[in-house]
Homo-oligomer: A and B are copies of this chain.
Amino acid sequence: MSLNTFGHLFRVTTWGESHGPALGATVDGCPPGVAVSEAMLQHWLDRRKPGQSKYTTQRKEPDAVRILSGVYEGVTTGTPIQLMIENTDQRSKDYGDIAEKFRPGHADITYWQKYGIRDPRGGGRSSARETAARVAAGGIAREALKALTPGVKITGYMVQMGQLRADRDRFDMAEVERNPFWSPDASAAAIWAEHLDELRKSGNSVGAVVEVVASGVPAGLGAPIYGKLDTDLAAAMMSINAVKGVEIGAGMAAAELTGVENADEMFPGRGGPVYSSNHAGGILGGISTGQDVVVRFAVKPTSSILTPRKTITRGGEAAEIITKGRHDPCVGIRAVPVGEAMMACVILDHLLLDRGQTGGVRGPIGAR
Q: Which of A57-65, A185-193, A247-255 contacts B (4 or more CB under 8 A)?
A: A247-255
Q: Which residues of B contact A263 (CB under 8 A)?
A: 104-105, 303, 305, 309
Q: Which of A7-15, A90-98, A172-180 contacts B (4 or more CB under 8 A)?
A: A7-15
Q: Which residues of B contact A259 (CB under 8 A)?
A: 105, 204-206, 301-305, 307
Q: Does A207 contact B (CB under 8 A)?
A: yes
State A22–B81 Cα separation when bound (angstroms).
11
Find the residue from A23, A107, A230, A234 having the highest chain B CB count within 10 A.
A234
Pairwise interchain contact B109-A267, C-beta atoms closer than 8 A: no
Pairwise interchain contact B252-A4, C-beta atoms closer than 8 A: no
Pairwise interchain contact A112-B13, C-beta atoms closer than 8 A: no
Q: Which residues of B contact A287 (CB under 8 A)?
A: 107, 110-111, 113-114
Pairwise interchain contact A357-B258, C-beta atoms closer than 8 A: no
Pairwise interchain contact B284-A106, C-beta atoms closer than 8 A: yes
Q: Contacts A110-B222, A247-B252, A259-B301 hold; do A115 and B358 have CB atoms under 8 A apart?
A: yes
Classify chain A's interface size: 35 or more
State A57–B352 Cα separation when bound (angstroms).
38
Q: Does A46 contact B (CB under 8 A)?
A: no
Contacting residue for A14 out of B77, B222, B225, B252, CB 8 A: B225
State A149–B277 Cα separation when bound (angstroms).
41
State A1–B6 Cα separation when bound (angstroms).
10
Name A287-344 residues within 8 Å CB distance of B. Answer: 287-290, 298-305, 307, 309-312, 314-318, 332
Pairwise interchain contact B301-A254, C-beta atoms closer than 8 A: yes
Contacting residue for A115 out of B235, B244, B363, CB 8 A: B363
State A364–B226 Cα separation when bound (angstroms).
37
Q: Does A216 contact B (CB under 8 A)?
A: no
Pairwise interchain contact B352-A256, C-beta atoms closer than 8 A: no
